[in-house]
Structure formats: structure tokens, C-alpha cells
Amino acid sequence: MTMANNIPRRSIFFLPIIIGATTTATMFPSVSTAAASVASVASSFVEQTKNDNGSNSNNDDDDSNNKWITHRLEEETKIEDQQQQQQRPFVSAAFSRKEYTNSIVASRDTNISPFEVYDTILQLKTKQRQVEVTGDNGSSSSSNDNDKNLRALDVGAGAGVSTQVIYQQLGYINIDAIDWSGDAWNTNVIENDIGYCPSTVKFYELDDERFVEQWKQKEDDKYDIIVFNFAVNRSKALYFCQNLLKKDGLLLAPINAQQDYWLKQTYQLLDTDGNLLWSAIDVGAWSVQFQPDVTQDTCQGIWCMPYNGFKKLGR
Ligand SMILES: C[S@@+](CC[C@H](N)C(=O)[O-])C[C@H]1O[C@@H](n2cnc3c(N)ncnc32)[C@H](O)[C@@H]1O
């Protein structure tokens, strides 16, 4: 007896799909879920056909079954595409625009910081590893244990260049990125073809004070690292250390050299108690000076109320 006599005609048609999908699932584990689903859809279709007991002479049935399986295959392909997209890293189109020692305009409210800033953010990796290895903070766990649970807060995320450094170079997948102005983010991350924001990176178009209010209401988790990208008074940096950082967390901020003086900052790395771990007045050839904190009444210049339309919380 020939194979055609044993297996219904439609089953022979779908046999290569089953074999192909099953092989794909075995050879490429990353696409195994979708491939396995295709195999299972096609295989259940063959089961159904076998149960038909060979009574497959109706062409209308054939057509509707073919449409059904084509539809299912398209659905599975969509799921597979979505899974692959999830794995794409965060990208800002502004990343390649940064320059040593110069700020570059990204929008009315946002400057891309000088390259030295992004080099300094990278220090968080080294410093965090040192803290973990020496056990200064009593921690015995390595950050490799649970990298996927690590959380970063990017304050003043602007065009997303700092976010890209945190995601791609520091390896933080879960990032809350905030900026009171979303213009530079929209232009470089959302609307630009080069830009890409995975679902684990969340942008909040909020100033830090409004964000903290929301964070408290949600009783959200604390962060492993916090990066400030605008100048702050020491009291604000300490508040974030003591309230939003995890026990072994680290905060990097350009802190005003004097209270409410916005023309010169010291870059500082602080632990959860606000202890100073590292600081720099100049980074390479660049003398640390950032855009000011828009929420402060003492904020001066074009980046501040009333020139930029910002309204402070509660006013
Ligand atoms: C130097 S830019 C940041 C550049 C950005 N990190 C990047 O890499 O593309 C400083 C940003 O801080 C924002 N900013 C200033 N004060 C803020 C505040 N209190 N809360 C949130 N964002 C603030 C400004 O809107 C501006 O986009």
C-alpha cells in the first residue's frame, strides 16, 4: 500500500510544515516557541484530518482549511516578530551626535551633554562592581546574579543618549527615564527610524518632583542606580539617595558647588546614605557645568521659568 493510501491528501501537504517547524524549534531555541506552536497547529490539523477518515473530497472544506492554516501561520509569524523586537536594545538617534567638551542642542529644552558626561556615567559599572566585590556595604551577592531585576532611574533623560548608555553599556534593561520636556525624546527615540524603545524602558514626561509624587503613590520599587543629568542642590541629591535608592544603590549627580549657584557643579557619586564615593570638578578637558534644575525658584536663564513655560508642582 502506498503512503498516499495511508495518509489523507491534506496531511501530505502539511507534512513539510510540521517537519520544518519541529526542526526549527530544535535547532534555534530562540525562535522555538513560535516554531513549536506552528508545529502544534499543523499537527493538530493533521489529527483533525485523520479523524475525517479520509472523507476529504469537498473543495470548499479544503479552501476554508487552507485559509485557516494560512491565518494561523501569519499569526505565529507576528508573535515571533514581536518576540524578536522585544530583544532589540534601546537606541536614541542622538547617540552619535555627542561631542567631547561641547553641548549640542537637541530641542528647545534639552542639550545633549558633552561626551565626558557619558564617559562618567560608565563609571557606575566599575564603582558598583567595586562595592560588591569589597563588600563595603555588607552585600555578598554579585550583580550578575539578577541583572534582569536591576532598575535604573535616568533623571533628565532628554534625547535618550544617557538612557542608551545605561541600557547598552551598563546593561540595565529596566529603566525609568524622566524629563519634564518630552520633545527631544519624541524626536530621537519615538519618531526617528533609528530610535527604538523596548517595553522595559519607560519614559515619563514629568519633572522629578511630580515623578517622585507618582512613584510614592504607586509604592514602586527602588532603584539600583540613579543618574542625574541636570544640576541639583545637594539636598535634592540626598533625598533621592535616602528614599529612592536600594540598600546597595549608587547615585551620580552634578551637585552645585554652592547652594543655588547654577554656574558650577561637582560631579559626585553617592551611596544610599549620601556618603561620597567619588567626585570630580573637571572631567578631562570639560569643566562640569550642566543645565539647571527647572523646578528651583533660583533657576536662572533660558532653561528656567518663565522663559520655557515650565510650571512648578502645586502652583
Ligand atoms: C543636559 S540635558 C540631558 C541630556 C540627556 N540626558 C541625554 O543624554 O540626551 C538636561 C535635561 O534635564 C531636564 N531637566 C531639567 N530640570 C529637570 C527636572 N527638575 N526634572 C526633569 N527634567 C529636568 C531638561 O529638560 C533637559 O532635557
Instruction: Kindly state the helix (H) or strand (E) to which residue 27 belongs, with its residue range.
Output: helix 9-27
Regions of the chain short of the pLDDT cut 70? 1-58, 80-87, 127-146
Task: Look at residue 302 in the predicted model and tell me its pLDDT.
Answer: 93
Cite the beta strand spans of 21-173 per DSSP E: 104-105, 111-112, 151-155
**Ramachandran class of 34: left when φ > 0, alpha when ψ lies in -120 to 50, beta otherwise:** alpha
The C-alpha cell 539600583 sits at 224
Question: Hey, what's the cell of 237?
Answer: 541629591
pLDDT value of residue 20? 43
Q: What is the pTM of this model?
A: 0.74
Substitution candidate for ligand 1 out of 109, 120, 163, 229 with most atoms within 8 A of CB: 229
Q: What is the pLDDT of residue 63?
A: 84
| Residue having the nearest C-alpha atom to atom 11 of ligand 1 | 156
> How many angstroms separate the CA atoms of 98 and 240, rounded?
27
Distance 230 CA to ligand 1 centre (A): 6
Atom of ligand 1 nearest to the CA of 118: 8
Range list of β-strands (E), the chain: 104-105, 111-112, 151-155, 174-178, 201-204, 223-228, 245-256, 265-271, 276-280, 282-283, 286-287
What's the pLDDT score for residue 22?
40
Pocket test for ligand 1, best of 108, 161, 180 (most atoms within 8 A of CB): 180
Give the residue extent of every domain in the chain: 3-86, 95-287
Look at residue 85 in the predicted model and tell me its pLDDT: 52
- Predicted confidence at residue 140, as pLDDT, reads 42
Distance from Cα 208 to the centre of ligand 1, integer Å:
10
d(CA 200, CA 208): 20
Q: How far is the CA of 157 from the centre of ligand 1 (A)?
A: 6
> CATH classification of 95-287, choosing from 3.40.50.970, 3.30.70.3270, 3.40.50.720, 3.40.50.150?
3.40.50.150
State the closest ligand 1 atom to the C-alpha of 110, by its place in the atom list counted from 1: 27
Q: Which atom of ligand 1 is nearest to the CA of 293?
A: 16
